[in-house]
């Protein structure tokens, strides 16, 4: 079974400095029919105006993945990332995947320092397999060539294939497709596949999606992506 979630049906918030589409219930947007999929709880498509951002705030017991589409996002946290002498610069740009494990508690900020460019990114939250772990941070770059015409693993529980390590029963793949480019992926029985089309257009098992649309696959043996036009897509393998 394939269930389509249209972009236009997502929640939307306009805070002036921040414009955000919510795939699932978040903040003031509440829809009992869309509280998440499996252990995936948040996909927010955020646009941060120049010179603005999220001030310092806290999280706990959540795996948070950020995926920048345009512009840059400067991250600073209580673990020392993004500060002078910190382990990581904390600035993420298109092609980067950032993972922050909130665990027992972490505070951070996210900012768009550009004077004239909007930062466009996806904020993804996944429930961890275990509560109260030590907070952690990781970021890696996945260039265009590595995602061209294929589904590149970018996040997994064991960090395999050079992906970032998330402390959750989930995996995330990213791909770029156009023209005759296509991908097939066998699906594990009893799990959920969730396809979020970031931009462009493509077909998911014959169903047409446009930017911002998503498709949930239950009981399907295989995922087929084809008939694409300038598509950037994320595919989640999730615990039911």
Tokens describing residue 21: 């589409």
Q: Which pLDDT tens digit goes with each residue over 151-178?
A: 999 999 999 999 999 999 999 999 999 9
Q: What is the mean pLDDT of residues 24-52?
A: 97
| Angle (CA) 234 130 238, round 5° | 25
Give the CATH number for residue 140.
Answer: 2.60.120.10
Q: Which pLDDT tens digit goes with each residue over 123-142?
A: 999 999 999 999 999 999 99
Q: 141 and 190 in contact (C-beta within 8 Å)?
A: no
- Judge whether residue 67 has pLDDT over 80: yes
DSSP codes of every residue in 96-121: EEEEEE-TT-EEEEEEE--SS--EEE
Q: What is the mean pLDDT of residues 28-42?
A: 96
Q: Are strands 164-165 and 152-156 parallel, antiparallel or unpaired?
A: parallel
Q: Is the pTM of this model over 0.85?
A: yes
- Tell me which residue range forms the domain holding 224: 2-238
* Mean pLDDT rounded to a whole number for the chain: 96
Q: Which pLDDT tens digit goes with each residue over 178-198?
A: 999 999 999 999 999 999 999
Q: Which pLDDT tens digit goes with each residue over 72-121?
A: 999 999 999 988 777 778 899 999 999 999 999 999 999 999 999 999 99
Please state the domain count of the chain.
Answer: 1
Give dist(CA 103, CA 132) in Å, integer.
5
Tokens describing residue 156: 């997994």
């Amino acid at each position: 079974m394939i269930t389509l979630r249209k972009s236009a049906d997502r929640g939307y918030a306009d805070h002036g400095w921040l414009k955000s589409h919510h795939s699932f219930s978040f903040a003031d947007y509440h829809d009992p029919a869309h509280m998440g999929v499996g252990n995936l709880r948040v996909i927010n498509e955020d646009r941060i105006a120049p010179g603005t951002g999220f001030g310092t705030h806290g999280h706990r017991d959540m795996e948070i993945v950020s995926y920048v589409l345009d512009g840059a996002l400067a991250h600073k946290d209580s673990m020392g990332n993004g500060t002078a002498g910190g382990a990581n610069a904390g600035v993420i740009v298109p092609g980067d995947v950032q993972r922050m494990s909130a665990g027992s508690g972490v505070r951070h900020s996210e900012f768009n320092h550009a004077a004239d460019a909007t930062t466009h990114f996806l904020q993804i939250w996944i429930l961890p397999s275990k509560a109260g772990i030590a907070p952690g941070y990781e970021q890696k770059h996945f260039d265009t060539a590595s995602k061209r015409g294929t589904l590149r693993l970018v996040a997994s529980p064991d960090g395999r294939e050079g992906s970032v390590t998330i402390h959750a029963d989930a995996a995330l793949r990213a791909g770029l497709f156009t023209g005759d480019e296509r991908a097939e992926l066998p699906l594990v029985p009893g799990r959920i596949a969730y396809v979020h089309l970031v931009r462009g257009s493509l077909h998911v098992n014959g169903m047409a999606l446009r930017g911002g649309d998503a498709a949930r696959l239950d009981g399907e043996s295989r995922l087929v992506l084809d008939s694409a036009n300038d598509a950037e897509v994320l595919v989640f393998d999730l615990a039911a």
